Structures are given as structure tokens and as C-alpha cells.
A = this chain, B = another copy of it.
Amino acid sequence: MEGKAKTGISPTRAEDFPQWFQSVVRDAEVAELDHVRGAMVIRPWGYGIWELMQRALDDAIKQTGAVNAYFPLFIPLSYFEEEAKHVEGFAKEMAVVTHHRLEQGEDGLLHPAAELPEPLVVRPTSETIIGRSFAKWINSYRDLPLMINQWANIVRWELRPRVLLRTTEFLWQEGHTAHASEEEALEETQRMLGVYREFTEQELAIPVIAGEKPELERFPGAESTLTIEAMMEDGKALQCGTSHYLGQNFSRAMEMGFTDEDGERKLCFTTSWGITTRMVGAVVMSHGDDNGLRLPPRVAPRQVQIIPITRGDPAAVLEAADALRTEIVDQGWAGGPVRVEVDQRDRKPAEKRWEWIRKGAPIVIELGERDIEQGVVTMTRRDDSELRRDAIPREGAAEAVSGVLGDMQAGYFEEASQRLRGRTRDDITTLEGFREFFSGDDTESGGFVKAPWSEDPSTEETMGELGVTVRCIPWGEELASDARCVITGGAAKVMAIFAKAY
């Protein structure tokens, strides 16, 4: 165990980034694919990260005026009949419940029995069911806006599952809102993308590019899909959160109407928006290194691990460790109380240290008799690539910890921002350059291309060959009137972010 830990993660990022990702997720005990093809167990350390994400995002969502509720897991098959584009987008990945009991057959084995009169779909997303509840609840303009969020599990059958990134079941929050006007609904769509952006940048220390998805990449049934896109360490894009303006597409199918102030009957304008457990994967691929996970303090289940070195007098060391723990908790940091634990498990100190390094705990403190005598504690900062053991004075150690946590949260964001800036190329103007850039080795040299795009369907083919997609039409970019499409050389319509993606 210990030997393996000390050699870090195998393979390294440079050797094989996708495999490195899987090794980190496994070795840091974040999650594992198990039991059912494509299904995932989220282990306590990984779930702890998700819980912190939930808490922060839930608070931010409630701040906007939305409230939480819960809707059924099973959706009648018929609910999907009425929204053609929507069902087209999801039909290939829907798990279907057809029976509601098991019976022992003549072979002595269990078999499904009691067939349902109508098959039930396990929700791949909940527009069709939440919309129908909204239609019942909304009568007048006084009931609008209706803004509801749900934390739930989602099933989309994955043929090529990847832990945390593409799993048959995942966890997410899905917000659904109904408004009296197009303007309000569009505002809501943008507001929520802003909430996601702030959450991703502030909590996860991951900088993003915000924009709109091209038509082909829209949520099935949406009028427009807004997205935030992040760059992983290998230069590939990861979609971090989407917010959809659904227009009246769903409200029309579900007769979700209201009586306006003028007594007229009108259809609602709706939105939906979501963020998933994929974000745990985004944290791994944004900040991890060849020793394992590196967690931004805000989403570290424990920010400081104190390892008592109890060779001589265990009682005195444990007492000192506990006093230090209390002091650090009381000191707090910019993110609130510090999450700190004294690791008293029956394991070797070096083994513990490497475990917490691998798991990405921001600070590891070793404390033994000699440290106590010398009035110091031995600190390892996870953001130090050398992982040096620094002896820092015991007096003022809590203040030091507080400062380091703040620096680390900012430092990880800065590091990722430099990558995003440095590896987003806006100087590629020819198809040849475009091809060359995306044919290179991703991990070392890949990245985003920001370039004018014609939106011409013919560009799909070139992108397809290279495994590239348009990640978004970024906000706030101006396009010169004579801009030429980087792929066709013809007139460009928009500025686009091109990248390979997860």
C-alpha cells in the first residue's frame, strides 16, 4: 500500500491522461464503476465533495427564489409521446420498467412477473413530468413565476461508460421554472447560468467560458441552451452546467397555461437548468497532479488532516493534536469554520500522509513528540509540487493554516485560469492550422480554438474527423464584419470556441 502510494499515480498525466483520471478516481477512493454496467458507487470521500457542492449550490439556487420539491422517478411512457424532439433526443438511452414483482420459475431462479399495463421510463430528465404538475398548479398570473428545483438521480443508458463523466445513473439538480413572458424566462435562463458560473469559479476554482450552444448541441426540445465550458488539464473541454430556454415548446405540449391580468388565457414560457456529479470529475481533471487529487479547500471534505506521531507518549501527542485541532477550527478561514480531523486510525503515519496527499486534502500536519519539544508542527501543503515538510511555529499555526487555505483556493483558480488563457488559441485562421492544432497530442499541447465560424452544416464533417465540436458561441465577443470561417473560409456568422471534449 505504502510503496504504491509513494510512487504517485500510475500512469502519469503525460503518459496517459484518461487512464490517469481513472487511477486517481480509484486510488483517491472517489468513485468506482461497479455492480451494473455503467453504474457508479460514489465513495465517502467523493460523496463528501458532492455534499459540499450541493450545499453551496442549493444556497445559491434558493437565493434566486426557487424552492426544492420532489417528483416521481418513473414517468409514464405516454408522457414522452407529445414532445417529438425531446423524445427523439432521449429514446436511445431510456431504462424501462415493465414488471412489478419477481417470481421463482421452474428453474428455481427469479424472474420478472406482473407486467405493467403501461411501461414506465426511469427519468432521463423531468420536463415531461414536472411540466404536467405545473400545468395543474398554475391558474393565474399570480401563480407565476413558479420556480422549482429538484435534487435527484437520473438514468441515461450509456454504451461507453466512464466513471463520473458518463455513467448510466448520476446525481444532479434540475431546476424548472415557468414565467408569464418570454423576457422573464430568458432572464431566468441567463441568471441561472450566472449562478453556475459563480459556483464553478468560486467553489470549484475552475474558470469557465460562458456562451450559447450551437443548434446541434441544444437540449432536445429547447429554443436555446446556454453553457459554461471549462478546460481540463489535457486541453479538452468539459461542459460544466447548462441552462435551457424552452420557449413554449413544453407548455404547449402539456397545456401549461395561465389567465393573465387582462383575463386572457396564455401559455407559459419555461426554462430548465442542471448541474451533475460530473463536476466531481471536473475537479479531478482541473486540479489533480501525478500524486493524485488536489482539492480546492471549499470542496475538500476535510481541509486539514492532523497525523499524530505517537512513538513515545501517545496521550501527550494526542492531547496536543486535539488542542491544535480546536485552535484551527476556532480560527476559521474565509470559507467559514475549518474542517479538520485528527487521524487516529491504526495505520503507519507515512501511509496516512500519502493517503491524504492522494485524496487531495489541502493541508497535512504531522505532530510528534519532537515537534512538541521544538514548538513546531510539520506541515505539507498539497499545492506544493515538491510536497515539502515545513516546520512552522506551533504558535500562530492556526493563523498560518487559515492563510494557506485562502491562498490555495485562489492559487488553484489562478493556475487553471492561466491554462485556459494560455491554451485558448485565437490566432488560428486557416483550416490547415486548425487541423494541425487538433491533430497534436492533447495532453501536452491541446486546447481551445477561438475563431470565426460560418455555422455551415458542412463544417460538421471536418469537425467530426478531428473529434472536435463547437463548445459554445461565447458571450461578449465581437466579430469583424469581414471575418472568415476558420473551416470553410467563407463568411463567418459568429465567434466560436472549438475543442475536443469529454
A contact residues vs B (CB 8 Å cutoff): 34-36, 39-44, 47-48, 50-51, 67-77, 79-81, 87, 91-104, 109-112, 119-122, 129, 132-133, 136, 142, 148, 152-153, 155, 157, 168-169, 171, 345-347
Closest to A88 in B: B104
Please give 4 more A-B residue pairs, beta carbons under 8 A apart, in addition to A35-B133, A40-B72: A36-B75, A81-B110, A96-B112, A98-B98
Q: Which residues of B contact A119 (CB under 8 A)?
A: 99, 111-112
Closest to A91 in B: B102
Contact A74 B110 (CB under 8 A): no
Contact B103 A35 (CB under 8 A): no
Closest to A68 in B: B47
Contact B133 A41 (CB under 8 A): yes
Contact B87 A95 (CB under 8 A): no
Task: Give, as a whole number of angstroms, the nearest-CB distance from A220 to chain B.
Answer: 13
Q: Within the assembled complex, what's the spacing in Å between the Cα atoms of A34 and B43?
A: 34
Q: Within the assembled complex, what's the spacing in Å between the Cα atoms of A129 and B36?
A: 10
Q: Within the assembled complex, what's the spacing in Å between the Cα atoms of A99 and B121?
A: 10
Q: Which residues of B contact A77 (CB under 8 A)?
A: 102, 110, 112
Task: Give, as a whole number of angstroms, the nearest-CB distance from A227 to chain B.
Answer: 26
Q: Within the assembled complex, what's the spacing in Å between the Cα atoms of A111 and B121?
A: 11
14 of the cross-chain contacts (CB-CB < 8 Å) are: A40-B72, A42-B70, A50-B70, A51-B68, A77-B102, A80-B110, A81-B110, A92-B101, A95-B99, A96-B98, A96-B112, A98-B98, A98-B99, A122-B122
Copies in the complex: 2
Q: Which residues of B contact A76 (CB under 8 A)?
A: 35-36
Q: Which residues of B contact A95 (CB under 8 A)?
A: 74, 97, 99-100, 120
Cβ-defined partner of A41 (8 Å) among B69, B97, B346:
B69
Q: Within the assembled complex, what's the spacing in Å between the Cα atoms of A157 and B120?
A: 13
Q: Within the assembled complex, what's the spacing in Å between the Cα atoms of A360 and B47?
A: 34
Q: Within the assembled complex, what's the spacing in Å between the Cα atoms of A43 and B69?
A: 5
Q: Within the assembled complex, what's the spacing in Å between the Cα atoms of A36 and B103?
A: 23
Q: Within the assembled complex, what's the spacing in Å between the Cα atoms of A342 and B296?
A: 37
Q: Within the assembled complex, what's the spacing in Å between the Cα atoms of A41 and B136?
A: 12
Contact B80 A39 (CB under 8 A): no
Given A101-B93, A102-B121, answer yes or no on A73-B169 (Cβ-Cβ < 8 Å).
Answer: yes
Q: Which residues of B contact A36 (CB under 8 A)?
A: 72, 74-76, 120
Q: Which residues of B contact A79 (CB under 8 A)?
A: 35
Closest to A34 in B: B133
Given A67-B44, A98-B99, A142-B345, answer yes or no on A169-B72 (Cβ-Cβ < 8 Å).
Answer: yes
Q: Which residues of B contact A47 (CB under 8 A)?
A: 67-70
Q: Which residues of B contact A346 (CB under 8 A)?
A: 142
Given A48-B67, A67-B48, A69-B47, answer yes or no on A39-B101 (Cβ-Cβ < 8 Å).
Answer: no
Task: Give, as a whole number of angstroms, the nearest-CB distance from A216 to chain B.
Answer: 21
Closest to A133 in B: B41
Contact B44 A69 (CB under 8 A): yes
Q: Within the assembled complex, what's the spacing in Å between the Cα atoms of A97 and B74?
A: 11
* A68, A70, A153: most-surrounded residue (chain B CB, <10 A): A70
Contact A347 B73 (CB under 8 A): no
Q: Within the assembled complex, what's the spacing in Å between the Cα atoms of A148 and B47?
A: 11
Q: Within the assembled complex, what's the spacing in Å between the Cα atoms of A103 and B74?
A: 18
Closest to A139 in B: B1
Contact B155 A73 (CB under 8 A): yes
Contact A102 B73 (CB under 8 A): no
* A77, A81, A94: most-surrounded residue (chain B CB, <10 A): A94
Given A47-B68, A73-B155, answer yes or no on A101-B91 (Cβ-Cβ < 8 Å).
Answer: yes
Cβ-defined partner of A153 (8 Å) among B97, B129, B153:
B153
Q: Within the assembled complex, what's the spacing in Å between the Cα atoms of A325 and B477?
A: 44
Q: Within the assembled complex, what's the spacing in Å between the Cα atoms of A96 and B95?
A: 10
Task: Give, as a whole number of angstroms, the nearest-CB distance from A492 to chain B.
Answer: 38
Q: Within the assembled complex, what's the spacing in Å between the Cα atoms of A255 and B103?
A: 25
Contact B112 A102 (CB under 8 A): no
Given A41-B72, A47-B68, answer yes or no on A99-B96 (Cβ-Cβ < 8 Å).
Answer: yes
Given A98-B112, A102-B80, answer yes or no on A48-B68 (Cβ-Cβ < 8 Å).
Answer: yes
Task: Give, as a whole number of angstroms, the nearest-CB distance from A273 to chain B.
Answer: 17
Q: Within the assembled complex, what's the spacing in Å between the Cα atoms of A76 and B69?
A: 30
Task: Give, as a whole number of angstroms, the nearest-CB distance from A295 to chain B.
Answer: 16
